[in-house]
Structure 1
């Protein structure tokens, strides 16, 4: 049974955990260590390139994950691109979460319109090469 390595800035919802256990047979959920989570969650917007900056995360993945494990990767577009490609190189399965967006519209007696957005987990999708 595969493990999943979590490289993103949020917490998994109970629906997401259930999906991973039932549909992907995930055994263990492994979060980034705190210092690497801080690195991932605060990528400086003024860095001209990210390869060196991401080296500690790539090293952690290489040292811990085994072929066939999943990696949930979401965040800064450039960082995601680099880490997804690195995951493929390690023979890991990089995935991302998809959501269904529901918009609820309420009109008050005064004619005011209030919109609320609900994001509901749907599936995990494997990144394409």
Structure 2
């Protein structure tokens, strides 16, 4: 059984779930527990290093995952970098979502510009290790 662990701040779309199940052969999708989700979604910008801050998440992943499980990693840039590296070291497969962005701008009567952005999931992509 292959699992997918979700380290991001959204709910999966139907197309994302289908891709995890069909392309990546995932049988079980696991969201972070609420206490760890709070850690992931609120990385303090004041900290000079966040390695210790993320330690509970790394411990949880070690405890619940097995080699070749998928980890969807999206969020604060430094946390993503550390987590993707951690996953590769642990034999997990870190991935991220690629999107197409459709943007529409409207000039309002008061001459301000209103922007609407739609993000459309295209595919998941594996983080790659630079050799």
Normalising to structure 1: TM-score of the pair? 0.90
Q: Which residue in the other structure is 1:64 paired with?
A: 64
**TM-superposed deviation, 1:59:** 0.2
**TM-superposed deviation, 1:102:** 1.7
Higher helix share: 1
**TM-superposed deviation, 1:117:** 2.2
Aligned pairs (5 A) from 1:16-55: 16-55=16-55
Q: How many residues are treated as equivalent by the alignment?
A: 128
The gaps in structure 1 that reach 5 residues or longer are none
**TM-superposed deviation, 1:106:** 6.1
Residue aligned with 1:83, SS: helix
RMSD: 2.0
**Matches of 1:22 and 1:78, distance apart in 2:** 30
Residue aligned with 1:50, SS: coil
Dislocated runs of 4+, deviation >4 Å: 105-108, 111-115
**Matches of 1:115 and 1:8, distance apart in 2:** 24
Q: Which residue in the other structure is 1:12 paired with?
A: 12
**Matches of 2:113 and 2:48, distance apart in 1:** 43
The gaps in structure 2 that reach 5 residues or longer are none
